[in-house]
């Protein structure tokens, strides 16, 4: 797992690059190149990986092919993100190099979360991933909303970290171990109440990180308040990282204890879908709508957690990619707009036909229309739930909620194509932008038509 080391070193290199390179534009170029290097390291890790899972650092990490593939895909998404939004990251504030350094550190945290074999590693991974986010949320220093977002995120996040630690402690008290593969000795019949409380605490902490209802209240304010380019990152790659941590612990360690936590997660899923979708309908700002939509999408990803089987793991990775790519694409359009409300998109199709077309593909994918990645992602996670059995009610409920989601996604399409107006742009749309967005669209369509290409041999 050279990628963990590489991410750390490249993060530090990036920080120092800020000292020597004064021009913001070059900083972005350096960051893009370094990310490409990191992506290469990930590919190196995969191609030289052994078939059997590999234990590292005294068995603190357990690197399996799933984790490697997931890390590579998320690094790829980050690379795409920097390509699409790098120009706008540079406009957020003065400390451009630091922003990119923080992104490298976040990736390092994600690598730990996807490979941990010990709860302490999980804790460290989550902290490494979260703390840079608090900073990024507040990076627009002059803006009160950004400050508010940062403070809110930090306070709530710190509190949840406490809960996570408490859960880990309780679990340790009950079992005497931090190693997640050792928890399998836990039996439903003789389950210690201490362990059960521990599982519940950890569940709450994860639910917070992935913004599942009722622990979602921070999400809209933080996502809305943070600078849009960073919201795009927080809502996608970072969230997917937290999800994989969730999946790992609950499937590997607590998979056999399903009757204790599965119903709770199922109810959390239903609540998340309901809150996310219904509230998104009432939003006037597209950015805030995307914040709620990210809650709603988390509801779908929770299907992968609630169903303990191989399809769920496949579904998780496809969902993470499809959702991340479409959301990053959507944000890359949003940052170009002057007005973040729905009315701000009025008449965009006349003015920028290509941009409007790409936005339509992104939205169709988020809404889960066939031939886009969003459909395949939803298909996999729902199939996992059906295979699990006894969850048909949740599947039907989720599909009804997907129909609700069409309402708010299509409002943007309607504004762009069928309403008249003068959609004002904040930034110019260059042909490079169009090319990159076009590539993003192609990725989305490929995900929808040949999803197995993105799953390796999982």
Interface ranges with another protein (CB under 8 A): 314, 364, 369-371, 379, 382-383, 386-387, 392, 395-396, 399-400, 402-403, 406-407, 410, 414, 417-419, 450-452, 455
Q: How far apart are CA 258 and CA 251, in angstroms?
A: 9
Tokens of 20: 């020597």
Nearest approach, Cβ of 294 to another protein (angstroms)? 21
Residue 344 or 368 with smaller CB distance to another protein:
368
Residue 202 or 349 with smaller CB distance to another protein:
349
Residue 46 or 458 with smaller CB distance to another protein:
458
Residue 127 or 387 with smaller CB distance to another protein:
387
Question: How many CA atoms within 13 Å lie on the side-chain side of 52?
Answer: 3
Residue (of 212, 395, 206) closest to 297 by Cα position = 212
Nearest approach, Cβ of 371 to another protein (angstroms)? 6
Query: H/E element holding 62?
Result: strand 61-63
Q: How far apart are CA 142 and CA 148, in angstroms?
A: 11
Residue 162 or 370 with smaller CB distance to another protein:
370
Judge whether 129 and 109 are in contact, CB under 8 Å: yes
Residue (of 2, 43, 31, 154) closest to 103 by Cα position = 31
Judge whether 327 and 236 are in contact, CB under 8 Å: yes
DSSP tag of 285: B
Query: H/E element holding 17?
Result: helix 2-20
Nearest approach, Cβ of 387 to another protein (angstroms)? 5
Residue 60 or 395 with smaller CB distance to another protein:
395
Nearest approach, Cβ of 397 to another protein (angstroms)? 10
Residue 253 or 346 with smaller CB distance to another protein:
346
Cβ density class 44-63: b for 16+ within 10 Å, e for less? ebeeebeeebbeeeeebbbb
Judge whether 67 and 23 are in contact, CB under 8 Å: no
Question: How many CA atoms within 13 Å lie on the side-chain side of 193?
Answer: 0
Provide the β-strand partners of residue 61: 56, 116
Question: How many CA atoms within 13 Å lie on the side-chain side of 321?
Answer: 31
Residue 261 or 380 with smaller CB distance to another protein:
380
Phi, psi of 178, rounded to the nearest 5 degrees: -105, -10
Residue (of 301, 308, 212, 211) closest to 259 by Cα position = 308
Nearest approach, Cβ of 390 to another protein (angstroms)? 12
Residue 155 or 396 with smaller CB distance to another protein:
396
Nearest approach, Cβ of 356 to another protein (angstroms)? 12
Nearest approach, Cβ of 345 to another protein (angstroms)? 14
Nearest approach, Cβ of 312 to another protein (angstroms)? 13
Nearest approach, Cβ of 349 to another protein (angstroms)? 9
């Amino acid at each position: 797992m050279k990628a963990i080391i590489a991410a750390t070193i490249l993060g530090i290199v990036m920080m120092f690059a800020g000292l020597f390179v004064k021009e913001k534009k070059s900083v972005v170029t350096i960051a893009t190149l370094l990310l490409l290097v990191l992506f290469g390291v990930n590919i190196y890790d995969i191609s030289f990986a052994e078939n059997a899972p590999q234990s590292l650092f005294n068995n603190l990490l357990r690197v399996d092919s799933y984790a490697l593939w997931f890390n590579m895909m998320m690094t790829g998404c980050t690379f795409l993100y920097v390509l699409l939004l790098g120009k706008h990251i540079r406009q957020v504030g003065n400390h451009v190099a630091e922003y990119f350094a923080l992104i490298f550190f976040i990736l390092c945290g994600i690598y730990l979360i996807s490979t941990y074999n010990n709860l302490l590693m999980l804790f460290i991974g989550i902290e490494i991933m979260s703390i840079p986010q608090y900073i990024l949320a507040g990076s627009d220093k002059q803006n009160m909303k950004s400050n508010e977002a940062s403070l809110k995120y930090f306070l709530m996040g710190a509190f949840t970290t406490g809960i996570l630690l408490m859960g880990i402690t309780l679990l340790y008290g009950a079992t005497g171990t931090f190693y997640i593969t050792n928890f399998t000795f836990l039996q439903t019949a003789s389950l210690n109440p201490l362990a059960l409380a521990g599982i519940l605490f950890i569940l709450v902490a994860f639910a917070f990180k992935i913004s599942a209802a009722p622990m979602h209240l921070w999400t809209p304010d933080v996502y809305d308040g943070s600078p849009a380019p960073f919201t795009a990152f927080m809502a996608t790659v970072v969230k997917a990282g937290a999800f994989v941590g969730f999946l790992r612990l609950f499937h590997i360690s607590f998979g056999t204890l399903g009757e204790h936590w599965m119903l709770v997660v199922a109810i959390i899923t239903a609540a998340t879908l309901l809150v996310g979708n219904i509230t998104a309908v009432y939003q006037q700002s597209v950015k805030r709508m995307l914040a709620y939509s990210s809650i709603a999408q988390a509801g779908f990803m929770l299907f992968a957690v609630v169903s303990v089987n191989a399809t769920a793991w496949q579904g998780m990775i496809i969902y993470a990619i499809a959702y991340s790519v479409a959301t990053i694409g959507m944000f890359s359009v949003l940052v170009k707009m002057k007005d973040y409300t729905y009315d701000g998109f009025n008449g965009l199709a006349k003015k920028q036909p290509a941009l409007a077309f790409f936005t339509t593909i992104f939205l169709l994918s988020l809404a889960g229309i066939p031939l886009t990645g969003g459909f395949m992602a939803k298909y996999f996670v729902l199939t996992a739930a059906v295979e699990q059995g006894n969850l048909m009610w949740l599947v039907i409920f989720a599909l009804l909620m997907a129909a609700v989601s069409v309402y708010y996604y299509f409002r943007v399409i309607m504004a762009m194509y069928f309403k008249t107006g003068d959609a004002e742009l904040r930034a110019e749309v260059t042909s490079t932008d169009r090319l990159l967005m076009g590539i993003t669209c192609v990725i989305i369509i490929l995900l929808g038509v040949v999803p197995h290409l993105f799953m390796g041999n999982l």
